[in-house]
Each structure stands twice: as C-alpha cells, then as structure tokens.
Structure 1
Amino acid sequence: MSDTPIEEMSFEQAMAELERVVGQLERGDVALEESITLYDRGAALKARCETKLKEAEEKVAAITLDADGNAAGTKPLDAG
C-alpha cells in the first residue's frame, strides 16, 4: 500500500492502488481482518477516484466554445 494519504492522491495514483486492492481481494489469499481493511481502503480509493473525475468533468464543462467550435475561454462553474 502507498504511504500517500488517499485525500492527497491523484486520480492515477488512487486508481492504481484500487486495482492492487481489488486484485488482492479477488485472489482471496488474505486473512479476514486484512480483507476488511482492504475493502475499506478500496471504498475510500473509489470515492477519491469519483471525486477527481467529477472535478475534471466540471473543468471540461466550464470551457465554452464559440460558434466555430473553438475554445473561447472559460466561464465560472456556477454560471448557468
């Protein structure tokens, strides 16, 4: 497991660790207590990935295009 706190992980770091956690759980070669710990960590990693994806989607949605399809700049996320 990574020493980086989950809330500081990039999307890529969290996804890579989540894949490792899932792999360990799928193999089933860990003790019950460790499985529970891994499951909890996996849930936190999944939530981090979802947060980072939402942030990226919001940034993309904030980019406006002009009539020719060219990036015209950005607008505030709360603008309608």
Structure 2
Amino acid sequence: MSDLSFEQAMQQLERIVVQLEQGELPLEKALEQFEEAVKLSRLSQQKLQQAEQKVSQLLQQQHGEQLGTFQTNNTDEDEA
C-alpha cells in the first residue's frame, strides 16, 4: 500500500466511502473497508506531510539564497 501515490490513495479512499455510504455491505465487509480506509487516510496524511516538508525546505533554500544575495549587496555598499 505504501507504494501508492497520494492520488491513488485518495481515489481508493473515495471508492470505499461511496461503498460505505450506500450501506449495502455486510457488516464484516464494511469493517474491512473501514479498516482499509483508515490505512489509506494515514498514508495520504503521511504523503501530505512529506510534501509540506519538501515545500518548506525549498522555501527555506530560496529564502537563504535571497539572504545571500542581500548580504552580497550590503558588502558591495560597505566597500563603496
């Protein structure tokens, strides 16, 4: 399951929700589907957190580059 993409996990989760909402599954099957949905939900949350961390790192790198450029400009002004 961990090899699913975020989009694939969400699609499966939506499919399970539709099945559960219809209320036509036997109790045991509904519980199995619910358990699967919980796993998919956790996986999706993990993938979102990983994406947020990546975006945060990229923004920090960009911010660092901007600070580097700003410091270089200040150094040029100090020398002038």
**TM-score of the two chains, using structure 2 as the length reference:** 0.74
Cα distance between partner residues in 1 of 2:38 and 2:3 = 16
1:35 corresponds in structure 2 to: 30
Greater RCO structure (CA 8 Å; 6+ sep)? 2
2:4 corresponds in structure 1 to: 9
2:73 corresponds in structure 1 to: none
- Specify the SS of the correspondent of 1:37: helix
Percent identity over paired residues: 37
| Over 3 Å off, 4+ runs | none
Q: How many residues align?
A: 62
Supply the RMSD in Å over aligned alpha carbons. 0.9
Write out aligned runs for 1:1-80 (5 A).
6-63=1-58, 64-65=61-62, 66=66
**TM-score of the two chains, using structure 1 as the length reference:** 0.74
Which ranges in structure 2 are unaligned for 5 or more consecutive residues?
68-80
Deviation at 1:8, TM superposition (A): 1.0
Instruction: Look at both structures and tell me which one has the larger radius of gyration over its CA atoms.
Output: 2
Deviation at 1:28, TM superposition (A): 0.5
- Larger strand fraction of residues: 1
